[in-house]
Amino acid sequence: MSPAPERPATVAEVGEAGVLAVLSGPGDAYTGDPVGNGDDAAVLGPAAATVVTTDMLVEGTHFRLDLTTWRDIGRRAVAQNVSDVLAMGADCSRVLVALAVPGETTMEQIRELAAGIHGEAARSGAVVVGGDLTSAHLVVVSVTAIGTLPEGARPLRIDGAAPGDRVALTGEPGRSAAGLALLLAGHADGPLQQAHRVPVPPIGSGRAARLAGATSLTDVSDGLMRDLSGMARASGVAADLVVDALPVDPRLGEAAAILGRPDPGAQVMDWILDGGEDHGLLGTFPTDSDVPAGFTVIGTIRDGDPGEVSLDGHPRTPGGWDSARGAN
């Protein structure tokens, strides 16, 4: 008889200190900060300006444990916060994590989650400087991301777009929404599904937009139309998108076909215009500026009803995601 396989250790058995040690990650991530991990709070060194944002992932709302991995949950929780720091024209330098998990969560799952958190933080040039652990009947990962702006640098707000500015975007929108549709239809693997599980923020592109003189910048979390409309409303302007200029991942058409959509072209357009959670950067640039590499010009800012967005000249109401109401 072979010995029974060892039952994996759980969070409840290992206790807070053991779990936090795994979440804290390697001790060699020296930041030069006065106080890093393991005290009541972290203390960060001098900064000309500090960018700070927080965002929460909740099991059942943002992910299902049967459709993703613990590592990808960690990566996504960090990535969506990093994205908000980039959208101010900054780079992310530190990450804090507050975690709630059931006591029966295994240490192997915690190690996977921590690997995702630290891997994504490292990809962004950031280190994890603090954590909190609590128990709950479901998994909640709340991340705070912090970045710095150099002396004299202007943060990129959402209310600076001006008539004549070009509208530009990183990446190909709609991939996350198409990936979610494939996942829900039982197609577990593929690049679109992975784009939904873990958005990949364009590290460096926020800073590049700032240096290029961008007038506004935001990350597309609720959908291209909705976020552009919000930016235009805050800036007191309208925007016009050019359909032929929109970058289209050809996999979107394939996904619409796989899913048997009656009008695949319309489905692709819906994903591109209203699909959320791609976390690309959406910016506005003066006509005389060089739009940085990685951005595609997709339209222009014009005078008009604040927040109105037209498509080849025809006004269109944003769909997209509302965190309190769900999909519109």
* Stretch of 98-106, 256-264, 267-275, 289-297 lying at the interface with a second copy (CB under 8 A): 98-106
Longest CA pairwise span in the chain (Å)? 79
Residues 34-73 that bind a second copy (CB under 8 A): 34-35, 38-56, 58, 60-62
Closer by beta carbon to a second copy, 129 or else 178: 129
Note whether 314 binds a second copy by CB under 8 A.
no
Binding a second copy (rule: CB under 8 A), the pick from 100, 168, 181, 273 is 100
Which parts of 218-275 fold into alpha helices (H)?
A: 224-235, 251-258, 264-274
Hey, which residues does 284 pair with through a beta bridge? 167, 216
Binding a second copy (rule: CB under 8 A), the pick from 78, 126, 128, 140 is 140
Q: How far is the CB of 162 from a second copy (least distance, A)?
A: 17
SS3 121: helix
Interatomic CA distance for residues 65 and 74, integer angstroms:
12
Q: How far is the CB of 163 from a second copy (least distance, A)?
A: 21
Number of residues that bind a second copy (CB under 8 A): 77
* Stretch of 125-133, 189-197, 241-249, 309-317 lying at the interface with a second copy (CB under 8 A): 125-133
Note whether 325 binds a second copy by CB under 8 A.
yes
Q: Tell me, what amino acid is at 300?
A: T
Binding mask 214-243 for a second copy (x = CB under 8 A): ---xxx--------------x---------
Length in residues, the chain:
328
Binding a second copy (rule: CB under 8 A), the pick from 25, 74, 130, 307 is 130
Report how far apart, in Å, the C-alpha atoms of 209 and of each of 81, 128, 245 are.
Answer: 18, 26, 19
Per-position DSSP letters for 181-212, written without gaps between them: HHHHTT---SHHHHHHHS----TTHHHHHHHT
Q: How far is the CB of 141 from a second copy (least distance, A)?
A: 9
Binding a second copy (rule: CB under 8 A), the pick from 125, 185, 323, 327 is 323
User: 């958005």: which residue's tokens?
Assistant: 199
Closer by beta carbon to a second copy, 87 or else 298: 87
- The residue among 199, 175, 187 whose CA lies nearest residue 62 is 199
321 belongs to an annotated ligand binding site: yes
| 295: phi then psi, degrees, rounded to nearest 5 | -100, 140
Q: How far is the CB of 262 from a second copy (least distance, A)?
A: 30
Note whether 18 binds a second copy by CB under 8 A.
yes
62 belongs to an annotated ligand binding site: yes
Token pair of 56 as six digits: 């929460």
Per-position DSSP letters for 74-100, written without gaps between them: HHHHHHHHHHHHHTTT-EEEEEEEEEE
Residue positions forming the annotated binding site: 40, 53-55, 62, 84, 131-132, 219, 221-222, 277, 321
